[in-house]
Structure 1
Amino acid sequence: MGCSSSIPTTGSVNSLPTKTARPSSPSSSHTNSHKRSDHVTSEKRGQRAQAEDLVQNFFLIWLDAKIDESNEDFRNSIKQLRGTVNTIEIFRDSDDCMHYISQFKNDEKTFLIISGALCESVIPHAHSISQIYSIYIFCRQQSKYEKWATKEWPKVKGVFTEIDSICNSVRQAARECDEDSVVITGQIEPSFMYSLLFKEIILEIEFAETKEIKDLTDYARNKYVGNEKQVKLIDEFARDYHGNVENKPIWWYTRQCFTYSMINKALGKLDVSTLMKMGIFMRDLHKNIKELHDKQANDKNTPLPNEVFRGQTMTEQDFGKKIKQGQLMSFNNFLSTTYERSVSLEFIQQKLQSDNSKIGVLFILNTNPSIKSALFARIDEISQYPEEKEILFSTHTVFRVQQIKETQESGMNIQQVNLTLTSESNDPQLAGLTHSIREELVGTTGWHRLGNLLIETGDFEKAEEVYMALLRDVSNDDKKEKSLLYYKLGIINYNTSKFMKAEQYMQSVIQIQENVLPENDPDLAKSYNIIGA
């Protein structure tokens, strides 16, 4: 997911002309800057990006009171940065900038590029903002700020005079940010039930491959509009990928292009629209892992390791809530691990140096290649990062927490968590949980099953997104499907006390049913009863 080396790198701080500063109110500075930056950062919108616009777990802000956005070197710099970060916003006023960042949730991270002229007044405040992941000072006088910034403020990654160097540092931060944003679901959380069956639902869907690949790439182009590097990769995917394991899904995933970003954000945030578009690729990625797993499990010369490691940082509150000895837990993404303990410890160390408000967690995952429903494979021969000795687990793999202990390694106090891979075949409690919720979903298939699962777990907002997405794609001639979708939307709105909206949906159901069902049909009676209630 790095910055493209093929783009000319003319962007030093000396070659970015500035405009003469002129008095203006904070509000006018904000307004002017966003009008001028729209063509650079996102051609499709006339306003600043909101959380729902983000296609990655992060975005980038460039704060400079005198930046000249019409300059060609500035445009080239933005083009380079967008090779890594799709959403970039430009600010001249620091108060507007900090206010904008604070509107995002804590798990939506920003990389902040700031001018030397503003760094001493802004960084002391910006450093405490949890949404800010890393800071890059871009100025001519490197020696003036370097000692002060990097020693006092750990989030500052350096003082830079060239955009190339910033680009490389941002690329590394983006990888760390993605790894650190992997969502862990504890057994006591309602969404844990969703975790148990989500993968099963994806694998059972019969995808119309040509249509699904076209829908996926059209959706991705819209998300990455104006991003030349990613659009080229999307075009390549549309041309070469045909929805099967031979198309090397793992290779596409480890390229860390749009496929990697969209899957990780969609799974972590439960972004229903993106999940439904990425479904076919997630299915293929799982199958690719299974193919490698089956091959490697029988390889006596290079057997799969008995334990692998993952370094992560968490807040103490999250750790206490999600990681409980003896209970089940799930990682809600395709999970990157390593068979080199030192690689995980190095990751923890890097993260704690820039954010000491969190605690380091070393997960030791005890694997069992005989558990066929819990798949993982060694991918270092395919990955862009072979030095990481990576073992990739399929999404929503379930573990049992065997032991938690505080220990010290590499000069760090960390929590060591021993996990054991588990499945329904060897864990009666897990089997009982999945059997219970499967019974609730009897008679449904595919995306309808996902919608029902979300209703059962009480996530009515996400369930509504599923059924609205299905409604957008349904043919007007398919009256039975439309009736079912209206019915589900009516039930959802009834359960969220939106009674007028629920009644409108149920009236649409009755209108269809009266034309296709006999008067004494029980489904028609059920619809009338809901309106009566």
Structure 2
Amino acid sequence: MANSTKNTNKQHPVPDVFAESVVEKTQLVWVNSTIVENESDFRHILKELYKLIRRVSFFEQIDQCVRFLADVPNEKAIVAVSNAFGQDMIPQIHSMIQVDTIYLLGDIQAPSEQWIKEWPKIKGQYSSVTSVFEAIQRVNKQYNQNSIPISFMPIMQSGSTHNIDELDPSFMYTQLFKNTLVQMEHSRQSVDDFVAFCRDKFRHNASALCVIDEFERGYRSDQALYWYTRFPFIYGPLNRCLRLL
């Protein structure tokens, strides 16, 4: 009887390090735009929001917003709603799976703390557009800093006699990979190919596309640290890549 060979190799999908983060793939739904019209710095805040969130939608009526949310069941939504609308609207949307987080906005007509506790998706009450933006920023920062612990050595089973002085193959391959990256030479064509790739990945993000244009015009290798900090164009994808090593 012929010996059968069982293939024990497992193929794992390669993660897309340019995939959107939790915040990037979430939309912001703002209910009662008259509140934000009084904010002198609202345009600046809105510009900054678009760096974190791909879509921001405004509504002045509850029923319009509820219908909108019902039509996008597969998209996570952060809802910022004024206190004036909150007690009528939140009971209608709280059970929607697409509603991830709710922020209450305003100084007047604030609901009681007891009422707020009945709706766990309410994550806070804020007095200004700026404070809501800062809350969203914190969520995004926490995501980017929540790096997966990196270990190049396999977890030791109880009672294992594995010699800890032996180098694990994954560690050696990782070092070889890093050394290869450092020693690679890149031509202008490499930059052009990278720019084309990023334009396709961020084609729906106007803010990122502006940064990509700037990168194409002014990139120099001695400015690597500067470009690393230009989230989401470099910072986010590179951090996600480093977590996978």
Match of 2:103 among 130, 136, 144: 136
Q: Counterpart of 2:225?
A: 250
Distance 1:250 1:145 in 2: 47
**1:259 deviation in Å?**
0.8
**Does the residue aligned with 2:21 lie in a helix, a strand or coil?**
coil
Partner Cα distance (2:136, 2:18) in 1: 20
Aligned length: 194
SS at match of 2:239: helix
Write the letter of the residue equivalent to 1:221: R
| Deviation of the 1:54 alpha carbon | 4.3
Partners in 2 of 1:131 and 1:184 — Cα distance?
Answer: 30
1:159 and 2:125 correspond: yes
State the secondary structure of the residue aligned to 1:113: strand
RMSD: 4.3
In the alignment, which residue of structure 1 is the partner of 2:90? 119
CA distance in 2, matches of 1:258, 1:149: 41
Deviations 1:162-216 (A, max 9, x none): 4333222211211012222x2346736xxx9767634532531424242222222
**Matched-pair contact (CA < 8 Å) for 2:93–2:99:** no
Alpha-carbon separation, structure 2, partners of 1:179 and 1:213: 28
Pairwise CA distance, 1:82: 0.8
Please state whether the residue corresponding to 2:210 is helix, strand or coil: helix
- Is 1:100 the counterpart of 2:100? The answer is no
Unaligned runs of 5+ in 2: 1-15, 58-64, 156-167
Query: 2:50 is matched with which residue: 41, 60, 82?
Result: 82
**Preserved CA contact (<8 Å) 1:210 1:242:** no
Indicate conservation of the 8 Å contact 1:60/1:111, yes or no: yes
1:187-198 mapped onto 2 (5 Å cutoff): 187=154, 197-198=173-174
Report the Cα offset of residue 151 of structure 1: 4.9
Q: Does 1:170 align with 2:136?
A: yes
Larger proportion of strand = 1
SS at match of 2:20: coil
Secondary structure at the aligned position of 1:100 is classed as coil
Cα distance in 2 between the residues matched to 1:164 and 1:242: 35
Larger radius of gyration: 1
The share of aligned pairs that are identical, in percent, is: 17
The alignment partner of 2:52 has SS state of coil
Q: Does the C-alpha gap of structure 1 residues 210 and 53 become closer, same or farther in structure 2, counting only changes over 3 Å?
A: closer
Structure 1 residues 211 and 153: CA distance shift in structure 2, 3 A? farther
Partner amino acid, structure 2, of 1:210: R
Decide which structure has greater helix share: 1
TM-superposed CA distance for 1:60, in Å, is 2.3
Secondary structure at 1:208's aligned position in 2?
coil
Q: TM-score, normalised by structure 1?
A: 0.30
Cα distance between partner residues in 1 of 2:170 and 2:89: 46
- Partner AA of 1:119 in structure 2: I
1:78 CA drift (Å): 5.3
Q: Partner letter of residue 200 of structure 1?
A: L
Alignment of 1:213 with 2:191, yes or no, is yes
Kept in 1: contact 2:79–2:102 (CA 8 A): yes
